[in-house]
């Protein structure tokens, strides 16, 4: 019985012991509820978790790193944080929760201060000899100096560190005569801080005072395109850059482009017989500048063709020569150098005039003058495009086409400077320094004329019908000298018959002035003006061809092709006859038709005709402008 009682007591004790374990209270504790993590790479902190349950940690911030997010019972977790590269402190909260039916929660607040790095002083200045200086660093993070190879004069006692620190910065000698500056970059927590380091320059010695060589003090008869020369040196071997200044009054100075040479040629023609002043300023590139003395010189009046002067290009062998004047517009003094561009283009125009029969054979009848005119600007005006150039004769294009005009009376004022020239009958060929195709002859019934001939943009193409030489032949050789009519059909009159008004105008010029003998209102081979050529041996090309004087019908021309249609280098037979008749009239010599034929056949002019077709895109030159003044 006693044994049974012991058994009962033992069973009861075991039951009670098991009951206490089954009904134990859940627990959860954290060793620290607030943690501050610094900005260093070793900022880890540990937290003890005490619990009799399984648990998990909720972390909502990506800058906080946990060694474990779950566990059971007691455990130790490690908490670290990345660099705080913000300009303010940051904070987050971890939530630790048990997994029981009635969960228990604990909180851990994580704080991290902002990163900072202060450099004292923020600027350093080294003398040219260099030296050592200390810099204090106040920081709560690790730092380093970026790209030390970018600082060739600097070296550092340390290029990285952490927390408060100091470093020695050493500067080498600044060998150059140029102040230098380095911006040293300190990197920390993804941010940067700067230290400005300056290096004073070595002292600089200015260049030797320049010595003027040419034009010298008070030198006279200096060419109008002078060569300026001088000499100087630099004791330190610096490359010297010189700038020339010149003036008419020592008040307004004009500067040349800087040069490393000790001589430079003037590119703008100076005024003739004029006193100028000049000096040279020399810079060594290290703030060393030295000026020469200012000297004066006086230019000659030679070397450049003077405005309004002229030369006789060719002298006729005849007692009463035919006289032609070639003059330019839109050429500046730079073009008027002896044998310069002006001479080149004017000479080319004269030679073109005499390159085609009958002018070629009768060249000795002509005295040709080459007159010089200096303009303020190159080119010609285009009022339709709002482009205006300041030229001697104000040459301009009259619209969108090929028409041109100038200040006529001023042209004849220049022509009148030539002794023995009759400005009421003379032909003046105005060569315009403009590459746009165009040209117009202004003709007065007294006999004088101005043939405006630009340097067409196709002047280099000898075969082109729109080049400068072709314009010379049409305007000067055709209209200006021999008063020939245009033989082309204008686009606006294509397919039309000549109007009564145009007929009357043509008849008046033919009967009153003996002009326009290369076109006819008579369409009959027996009675047309050039009937004497038709059927004659050697002149098989001559006939009647309907279509001339701007119209398709009711007006005829003598040959299929001619300079007066599309500027080709060929005058038809009746045109040649008209040219020679005026030559003989001016020379006071008698000309018979038979004499003309004899000379014409000898020259081969009739055989020189080539088949010519007018390109549908060809733009003819504008009709001549006729002014009745007799």
Decide the pairing of beta strands 154-156 and 34-36. Answer: unpaired
177 vs 510 pLDDT, higher one: 510
CATH class, 211-299 region: mainly beta
- Give the integer Cα–Cα distance in Å for 406 and 413: 13
Domain ranges of the chain: 23-112, 117-199, 211-299, 310-627
Picking from 408, 383, 386, 406, the residue whose alpha carbon sits closest to that of residue 394 is 406
Share of the chain above pLDDT 90, in %: 73
DSSP string, 448-505: -EEEEEE--TTTT-TT-TTSHHHHIIIIIIIIIIT-PPP-SBPGGGTT-BPPHHHHHH
Picking from 107, 84, 110, 80, the residue whose alpha carbon sits closest to that of residue 96 is 107
Query: pLDDT tens digit string along 318-360?
Result: 999 999 999 999 999 889 988 889 999 999 999 999 999 999 9
pLDDT at 30 over 80: yes
pLDDT at 304: 86
Res. 559 pLDDT band, cuts 50 70 90: very high
310-627: CATH topology: Collagenase (Catalytic Domain) (3.40.390)
Which architecture, in CATH terms, is 23-112? Sandwich (2.60)
CA distances to 127, 253, 270 from 392, rounded to whole Å, are 64, 27, 18
pLDDT at 614: 60
pLDDT at 66: 93
Q: Which of 233-242, 528-537, 608-617 has the lowest mean pLDDT?
A: 608-617
Rounded mean pLDDT of 83-109?
88
Q: Contact, 609 vs 541, CB < 8 A?
A: yes
3-class SS at 152? coil
Picking from 4, 3, 48, the residue whose alpha carbon sits closest to that of residue 28 is 48
pLDDT at 405 over 50: yes
Rounded mean pLDDT of 224-245?
93
**Six-digit token pair at 54?**
């399984």
Res. 12 pLDDT band, cuts 50 70 90: low
pLDDT at 21 over 80: no
Same CATH fold, 310-627 and 211-299? no
Picking from 410, 420, 404, the residue whose alpha carbon sits closest to that of residue 308 is 410
Q: What integer best gives the mean pLDDT of the chain?
A: 90
Picking from 195, 181, 180, the residue whose alpha carbon sits closest to that of residue 145 is 195
Picking from 300, 295, 304, 293, the residue whose alpha carbon sits closest to that of residue 274 is 300
168 vs 606 pLDDT, higher one: 168
pLDDT at 164 over 90: no
For the CA atoms of 188, 191, 192, 193, the dihedral, rounded to the nearest 10 degrees, stands at -80
Res. 9 pLDDT band, cuts 50 70 90: low
Q: Contact, 404 vs 358, CB < 8 A?
A: no
Give burial (CB, 10 Å; 0-12/13-18/19+) of 276: buried
Partnered with residue 556 across adjacent β-strands are 520, 546
pLDDT at 98 over 60: yes
- Give the integer Cα–Cα distance in Å for 523 and 401: 32
How many residues in the chain?
630
pLDDT at 13 over 60: no
Res. 598 pLDDT band, cuts 50 70 90: very high
Decide the pairing of beta strands 427-432 and 449-454. Answer: parallel
- Give the integer Cα–Cα distance in Å for 224 and 273: 9
Partnered with residue 245 across adjacent β-strands are 255, 279
Res. 279 pLDDT band, cuts 50 70 90: very high
pLDDT at 143 over 80: yes
166 vs 465 pLDDT, higher one: 166
Q: Contact, 468 vs 456, CB < 8 A?
A: yes
For residue 612, whether the previous peptide bond is cis, meaning omega lies within 30 degrees of 0, is no
Query: b/e per residue, 461-493, with b = 16+ CB within 10 A?
Result: eeebbbbbbbbbbbbbbbbbbbbbbbbbbeeeb
574 vs 200 pLDDT, higher one: 574
Decide the pairing of beta strands 105-112 and 34-36. Answer: parallel
CATH of domain 117-199: 2.60.40.10
Rounded mean pLDDT of 98-118?
89
In SS3 terms, 6-52 reads as HHHHHHHHHHHHHHHHHCCCCCEEECCCEEECCECCCCCEEEEEEEC
């Amino acid at each position: 019985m006693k044994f049974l009682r012991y058994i009962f007591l033992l069973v009861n004790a075991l039951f009670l012991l098991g009951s206490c374990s089954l009904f134990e209270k859940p627990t959860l504790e954290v060793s620290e509820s607030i943690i501050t993590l610094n900005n260093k790479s070793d900022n880890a902190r540990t937290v003890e978790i005490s619990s009799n349950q399984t648990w998990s940690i909720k972390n909502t911030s990506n800058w906080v790193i946990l060694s474990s997010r779950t566990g059971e019972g007691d455990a130790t977790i490690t908490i670290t944080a990345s660099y705080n590269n913000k300009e303010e402190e940051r904070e987050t909260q971890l939530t630790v929760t048990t997994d029981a039916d009635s969960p228990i929660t604990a909180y851990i607040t994580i704080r991290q201060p902002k990163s900072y790095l202060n450099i004292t002083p923020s600027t350093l200045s080294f003398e040219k000899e260099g030296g050592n200086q200390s810099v204090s660093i106040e920081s709560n993070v690790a730092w380093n100096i970026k790209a030390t190879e970018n600082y060739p004069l600097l070296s550092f006692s340390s290029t990285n560190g952490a927390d408060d620190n100091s470093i020695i910065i050493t500067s080498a000698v600044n060998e150059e005569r140029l102040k230098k500056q380095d911006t040293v970059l300190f990197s920390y927590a993804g941010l940067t801080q700067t230290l400005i380091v300056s290096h004073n320059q070595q002292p600089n010695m200015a260049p030797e005072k320049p010595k003027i060589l040419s034009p010298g003090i008070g030198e006279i008869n200096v060419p109008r395109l002078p060569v300026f020369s001088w000499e100087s040196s630099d004791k330190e071997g610096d490359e010297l850059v010189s700038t020339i200044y010149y003036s008419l009054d020592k008040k307004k100075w004009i500067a040349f482009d800087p040069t490393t040479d000790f001589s430079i040629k003037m590119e703008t023609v100076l005024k003739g017989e004029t006193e100028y002043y000049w000096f040279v300023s020399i810079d060594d590139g290290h703030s060393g500048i030295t000026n020469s003395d200012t000297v004066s010189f006086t230019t000659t009046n030679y070397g450049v063709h003077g405005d309004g002067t002229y030369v006789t290009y060719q002298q006729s062998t005849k007692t009463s020569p035919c006289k032609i004047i070639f003059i330019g517009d839109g050429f500046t003094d730079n073009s008027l150098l002896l044998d310069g561009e002006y001479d080149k283009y004017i000479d080319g125009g004269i030679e073109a005039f005499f390159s085609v029969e009958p002018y070629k054979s009768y060249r000795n009848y002509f005295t040709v003058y080459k007159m010089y005119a200096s303009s303020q600007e190159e080119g010609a005006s285009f009022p339709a495009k709002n482009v205006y150039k300041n030229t001697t004769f104000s040459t301009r294009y009259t619209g969108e086409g090929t028409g041109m005009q100038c200040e006529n009376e001023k042209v004849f004022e220049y022509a009148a400077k030539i002794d023995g020239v009759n400005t009421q009958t003379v032909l003046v060929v105005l060569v315009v320094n403009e590459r746009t195709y165009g040209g117009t002859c202004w003709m007065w019934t007294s006999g004088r004329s101005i043939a405006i001939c630009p340097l067409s943009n196709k002047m280099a193409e000898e075969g082109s019908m729109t080049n400068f030489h072709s314009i010379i032949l049409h305007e000067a050789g055709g209209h200006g000298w021999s008063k020939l009519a245009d033989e082309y059909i204008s686009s606006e009159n294509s397919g039309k018959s000549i109007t009564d008004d145009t007929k009357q105008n043509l008849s008046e010029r033919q009967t009153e002035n003996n002009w326009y003998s290369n076109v006819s209102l008579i369409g009959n081979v027996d009675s047309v003006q050039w009937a004497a050529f038709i059927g004659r041996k050697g002149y098989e090309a001559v006939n009647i061809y309907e279509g001339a004087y701007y119209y398709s019908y009711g007006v005829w021309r003598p040959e299929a092709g001619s300079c007066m249609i599309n500027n080709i280098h060929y005058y038809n037979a009746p045109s040649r006859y008209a040219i020679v008749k005026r030559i003989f009239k001016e020379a006071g010599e008698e000309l018979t038709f038979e004499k003309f034929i004899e000379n014409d056949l000898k020259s081969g002019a009739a055989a020189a005709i080539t088949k010519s077709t007018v390109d549908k895109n060809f733009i003819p030159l504008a009709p001549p402008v006729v002014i009745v003044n007799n």
